[in-house]
Structure 1
Amino acid sequence: MKSLLPFILLLMVSGQLQAQTHWVSIDEQYGNLPPSFHVYKSTDRIEGKPNVMYYAIADMGDKELQFTVDTSRGRRLTPDQYFRKDNNPLLIVNACFFSFATNENLNLVVKDGKVVSRDPGRLAAKGADSGKYIYPFIGTFGITRSGRPDIAWVHTASGSQKVFASQKPVNYILTSDSSLKKCYLLKADGRKFSRWKVQTAVGGGPVLLQNGEVNITNNQERKFAGKAIGDRHPRTAIGYTRDNRIIVFVCEGRTETAAGLTLTDVANFMKELGCVEALNLDGGGSTTMLVNGKEVNTPSSKGVQRPVPSVFMIRRR
Structure 2
Amino acid sequence: MDCALRYVLLLTLPCLLAACGGDSDHASGTPSSPVSSDIIWQQQDNLNLPAGVTFHRGQKEGHTQFSAWYLKLDPSVAELALNPIRLSPVKTLDQLTEPHLVAAMNGGFFGGDQSYSAAIKGNEVLSKNIAALSRFNKTYPVMRALFLTDTAGKSEVTWIYHFGDSVADIRQYDQPLAYQRNSDTPQPAPQAEDGRLLPSLGMAIGGGPMLVQDGATVLSYDEEIFWGSGVELTDTRPRSAIGYTAQGYIILFVTNALTLTELPGHLLKLGVEGAINLDGGGSSALRVLDDTVFNQHRPVPIALTISQEP
> Is TM (by shorter chain) over 0.5?
yes
CA contact (8 A) 1:219 1:225 kept: no
In 2, Cα distance between equivalents of 1:32 and 1:286: 26
In 2, Cα distance between equivalents of 1:22 and 1:272: 11
Equivalenced residues, count? 267
Alignment equivalent of 1:154, drawn from 143, 152, 160 = 160
1:287 deviation in Å? Answer: 1.0
Alignment equivalent of 1:276, drawn from 265, 273, 284 = 273
Quote the residue 2:119 is aligned against: 109
Alignment equivalent of 1:95, drawn from 103, 107, 128 = 107
CA contact (8 A) 2:103 2:286 kept: yes
Indicate the SS of the match to 2:263: helix
Larger proportion of helix: 1
Counterparts in 2 of 1:50 and 1:193: CA distance versus 1, 3 Å? same
Quote the residue 1:315 is aligned against: 307
Please, which runs of 5 or more residues in structure 2 have no aligned partner? 1-36
CA contact (8 A) 2:93 2:292 kept: no
Larger proportion of strand: 2
Counterparts in 2 of 1:156 and 1:36: CA distance versus 1, 3 Å? same
In 2, Cα distance between equivalents of 1:62 and 1:315: 11
* TM-score computed with the length of structure 1 as normaliser: 0.77
1:22 deviation in Å? Answer: 1.6
In 2, Cα distance between equivalents of 1:237 and 1:203: 10
Quote the residue 2:44 is aligned against: 26
Q: RMSD of aligned C-alpha atoms?
A: 2.5
CA contact (8 A) 2:163 2:192 kept: no
Q: Deviation string for 1:112-168 (max 9, x for gaps)?
A: 321121122111231xxx3x3211110111111221111111111134441111133
Greater displacement, 238-247 / 56-65 = 56-65
1:218 deviation in Å? Answer: 0.6
The one-letter amino acid paired with 2:103 is L
In 1, Cα distance between equivalents of 2:174 and 2:126: 22
The one-letter amino acid paired with 2:114 is E
Query: Relative CO higher for 1 or 2, CA cutoff 8 Å, sep ≥ 6?
Result: 2
In 1, Cα distance between equivalents of 2:127 and 2:59: 36
In 1, Cα distance between equivalents of 2:213 and 2:228: 18
Counterparts in 2 of 1:24 and 1:211: CA distance versus 1, 3 Å? same
The one-letter amino acid paired with 1:290 is R
Alignment equivalent of 1:72, drawn from 77, 81, 87 = 87
The one-letter amino acid paired with 2:41 is W
The one-letter amino acid paired with 1:244 is G
